[in-house]
Structure 1
């Protein structure tokens, strides 16, 4: 069996970092907008909005360095789960559990005036991505 997902897209809002109550394990959630490879009848590109879940140290890094509009790559697996609301309604959720998050934007760090890529390497701001 194979369950592998690779996505590249932009965050629709800032990541949400929280910690599990019992073990204080970091978990970050965000939604990734991924363009489709075709246009609709009006000639516009459509996008899918995919919920992403990141755990542990990678969750803290994602929450610290990603922001709304950030371009990132996700490598992970698809997971479905179900739960019941307090009102008794059954809900199903499909999300991507990220094994790897790659920061694809170059961001200016206001404190140090240095430029960093997602790998923490200094890059020239004139280099196109």
Structure 2
């Protein structure tokens, strides 16, 4: 079985290109920074994982995903190898995306959107922003 499940943040906006042919196919490439659960002294805190989304998944990534946003993806590993002009062998490992999901509420990943939320008294959906913690005494039940 070849199945990968990741949750991480975009390191930059997805790069989308379209294949040439009678029916162009979207190919979105992006890198997710996935935090490590445990870290050892001197090791990086995150792994940077290359992902590729095709067709509708690629178009969705182009329209809705931005740098810094947290997403959850499901896919499969694909390992490629090739020889360059000098005969040196290169390897690439990508996650081919099968499913992708938003992993946080809209705008919660940026400081700019958080400061806008705190300035508003009431949001359009009728909820008030919470500026601190909720004590048990404050709950109506």
TM-score (norm 2): 0.69
Q: Does 1:33 align with 2:46?
A: no
Q: How does 1:1-129 map to 2 (within 5 A)?
A: 2-22=1-21, 23-41=23-41, 46-107=45-106
- RMSD across aligned positions (CA): 2.4
Provide the aligned length of Structure 1 versus Structure 2. 111
Work out which of the two has the higher radius of gyration on C-alpha atoms and give 1 or 2: 2
Distance 1:60 1:46, change over 3 A: same
Cα pair 1:38 1:45 within 8 Å, conserved? no
Structure 1: stretches of 5+ with no match in the other structure: 109-121
Q: What's the offset of the Cα at 1:57?
A: 0.7
Structure 2 runs not aligned, ≥5 long = 108-124, 131-141
Q: TM-score, normalised by structure 1?
A: 0.75
- Hey, which of these two has a bigger chunk of helix by percent? 2
